[in-house]
């Protein structure tokens, strides 16, 4: 067989296999782009669990007319220029693949206007070469992306979609996690024309607690133990389930430099900190770790669900120490408050 270079659409569809698993993964990629673009407000509209339509509008910096075609091309990004940049990445995106991948497995249109432009433009990619077409449009400063008929041309993937309700639940769940790590952003979520979530911007502790209540429920938010600890370049903040609560709080959110990740290290540290206090197998937590981006590798997985710490042991021990002292303080306080 002769060797051939894959046509762009096919190459993008293959790449899409890694990052575009279901509607929630599209929402994740697109909302992260909004935040990278400096948006303070993001509106999400979903139809039929996202299989019919995912529409995301932001008030970020927009994409200039001349960059629209590039935004839809693979390996085109405004967020990374050299390998050194990758060593210290703070934006969500850097691979320059999401829009190209999503657009190869859906009918995607990108409408955007920058501050410098008096008019907006709409772009979409067509055919196996994914040639980008551009036409004038009406839009305020910012960007709207419409993803219609996800997986219409990849039937194997489409068959794996669950019911609208289940797919929407995945979107809602992902958005909850985002809502906690970016309380400054106003977020709305609609399903089939009906508003389901409205997260108001939260800039004070009190407003944050309201958001935590919306996301994690009243019983977690009202009793949670606050964690706040700095050591050298490491900083941990967030909330731990109260050890007095014996019911399962099914909230296990861990963020590293603002990125939601799955990590066994934190699960382990939480369990160890609780070991003598509570029988629960996995107490609830919302924890945010900040550290020098050079100390963590985020380029481990295309969907960036995982990270690798250069000094994993050190990070683990720091987290454990921070949690243990937060718990000790809370136990001491509740002992003082206990009636005789």
* Pair 106, 27: CB distance under 8 Å: no
Alpha helices, H only, 72-131: 83-87, 98-104
Q: Which one of 7-15, 46-54, 94-102, 288-296 is the stretch in contact with Mg ion (CB under 5 A)?
A: 94-102
What is the helix (H) or strand (E) element at residue 291, kind and residue range? Answer: none
Cα end-to-end distance, the chain, whole Å: 84
Closest to ligand ADP by CB, 17 vs 217, is 17
Q: Which one of 97-105, 176-184, 213-221, 319-327 is the stretch in contact with ligand ADP (CB under 6 A)?
A: 97-105
Q: Which of 15, 99, 178, 320 binds ligand ADP (CB under 6 A)?
A: 99
Taking the complex as a whole, the smallest distance from the CB of residue 302 to ligand ADP amounts, in Å, to 10
At residue 128, the 3 state secondary structure works out as coil
Taking the complex as a whole, the smallest distance from the CB of residue 92 to ligand ADP amounts, in Å, to 7
Q: Is 58 in the site for ligand ADP (CB under 6 A)?
A: yes
What is the helix (H) or strand (E) element at residue 334, kind and residue range? Answer: helix 312-337
- Nearest one of 182, 143, 191, 252 to 23, comparing CA atoms: 191
- Nearest one of 24, 31, 32 to 51, comparing CA atoms: 24
Taking the complex as a whole, the smallest distance from the CB of residue 78 to Mg ion amounts, in Å, to 10
Q: Is 125 in the site for ligand ADP (CB under 6 A)?
A: no
State the binding partner of 143 from Mg ion, ligand ADP, none, CB within 5 to 8 A by kind. ligand ADP
Site residues for ligand ADP, window 143-162 (CB under 6 A)? 143
Q: Which of 96, 201, 258, 293 binds ligand ADP (CB under 6 A)?
A: 96
Site residues for ligand ADP, window 216-275 (CB under 6 A)? none
Closest to Mg ion by CB, 94 vs 318, is 94
Burial of residue 271 (CB within 10 Å: 0-12, 13-18, 19+) is middle
Handedness of CA 77, 95, 7, 56 (dihedral sign): negative
State the binding partner of 241 from Mg ion, ligand ADP, none, CB within 5 to 8 A by kind. none
* Pair 183, 200: CB distance under 8 Å: no
At residue 65, the 3 state secondary structure works out as helix
Q: Is 34 in the site for ligand ADP (CB under 6 A)?
A: yes
- Tallying the residues shown for the chain, one arrives at 340
Binding site for ligand ADP (CB under 6 A): 29, 33-34, 37, 58, 60-63, 71, 77-79, 93-100, 143
Binding site for Mg ion (CB under 5 A): 33, 93, 98
């Amino acid at each position: 067989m002769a060797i051939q270079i894959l046509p762009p659409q096919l190459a993008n569809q293959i790449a899409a296999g890694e990052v575009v698993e279901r509607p929630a993964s599209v929402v994740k990629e697109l909302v992260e782009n909004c935040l990278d673009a400096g948006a303070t407000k993001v509106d999400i509209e979903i139809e039929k669990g996202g299989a019919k339509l995912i529409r995301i509008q932001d008030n970020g910096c927009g994409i200039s007319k001349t960059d629209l075609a590039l935004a839809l091309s693979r390996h085109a990004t405004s967020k990374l220029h050299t390998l050194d940049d990758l060593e210290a990445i703070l934006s969500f995106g850097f691979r320059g693949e999401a829009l190209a991948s999503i657009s190869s497995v859906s009918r995607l249109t990108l409408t955007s206007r920058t501050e410098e432009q008096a008019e907006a433009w709409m772009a979409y990619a067509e055919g196996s070469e994914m040639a980008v077409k551009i036409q004038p449009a009406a839009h305020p400063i910012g960007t709207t992306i419409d993803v219609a008929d996800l997986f219409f041309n990849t039937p194997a993937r489409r068959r794996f979609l669950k019911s609208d309700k289940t797919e929407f639940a995945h979107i809602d769940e992902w958005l909850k996690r985002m809502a906690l790590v970016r309380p400054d952003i106003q977020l709305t979520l609609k399903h089939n024309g009906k508003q389901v979530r409205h997260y108001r911007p939260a800039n004070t502790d009190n407003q944050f607690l309201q958001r935590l209540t919306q996301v994690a429920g009243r019983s977690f938010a009202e009793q949670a133990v606050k964690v706040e600890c700095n050591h050298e370049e490491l900083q941990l903040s967030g909330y731990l389930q109260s050890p007095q609560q014996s019911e399962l709080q099914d909230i296990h959110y861990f963020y590293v430099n603002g990125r939601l990740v799955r990590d066994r290290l934190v699960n382990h540290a939480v369990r160890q900190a609780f070991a003598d206090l509570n029988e629960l197998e996995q107490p609830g937590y919302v924890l945010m770790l900040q550290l020098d981006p050079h100390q963590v590798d985020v380029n481990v997985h295309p969907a960036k669900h995982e990270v690798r710490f250069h000094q994993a042991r050190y990070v683990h021990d720091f987290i454990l120490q921070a949690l243990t002292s937060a718990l000790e303080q809370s136990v001491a306080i509740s002992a003082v408050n206990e009636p005789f």
